Amino acid sequence: MRGKARKPAVSALCAALAAALLIFGSMLPTGKIAISAVAGLATAAALIECGYLYAALEFIVAAALGLILAPSKAPAVMFCLLFGWYPIVKSLIEKLKSRVAEYLLKLAVILVVIVVFFILARLGVGELSLPDTSKLVVAAAAIIGFFAYDFCFSGLIRVYIRRVRGRMK
């Protein structure tokens, strides 16, 4: 694909893939968070192939389709809450020269997401629920899980760039 239609087409395909994953994930009994994280790979692909604008548009379209079409809203809410937009923010944060600033900003991101999650779960939005354990334990597990996700996500992006990107052109 060449010319002016390439970027919108690739972005639309990534949005459709992410939305399909969110819809599929909403029908599964477990793994809703994992499916939301996998759907975030579509945003990363749109970012790598098309740039920030089309990645942001891909996220908006995928999130809207997931929220509208998915029978269970939990995967789409998790996509909106973190996994959909984080690849864009991650790319911007990782342009910083200071590793300390990079990790502090990522920590700030996950802390804001945790607070918003607690608020949404308390309100009962999107079938989100809090476990019966302490909020501090949940927050600590979320922070550890987030940094593990961030590390693995970086590896998947490297694999995408080395193995898939060359075939897309």
Q: Give the pLDDT confidence of 17-64 residue by residue, as tens digits.
A: 999 999 999 898 888 889 999 999 999 999 999 999 999 999 999 999
Mean pLDDT of 103-108: 97
Mean pLDDT of 74-90: 94
Long-range contacts of 150-156 (CB under 8 A, 24+ apart): 150/90, 150/106, 153/37, 153/40, 153/41, 153/44, 153/87, 153/90, 156/41, 156/44
Residue 131 pLDDT exceeds 90:
no
Q: What is the pLDDT of residue 2?
A: 65
Domain extents for the chain?
3-168
Q: How confident is the model at residue 69 (pLDDT cuts 50, 70, 90)?
A: very high
Q: Which of 40-44, 106-110, 158-162 shows the lowest per-residue confidence on average (mean pLDDT)?
A: 158-162
Mean pLDDT of 62-80: 93
DSSP 7-65: HHHHHHHHHHHHHHHHHHHHHSSS-HHHHHHHHHHHHHHHHHHH-HHHHHHHHHHHHHH
Q: What is the pLDDT of residue 72?
A: 87
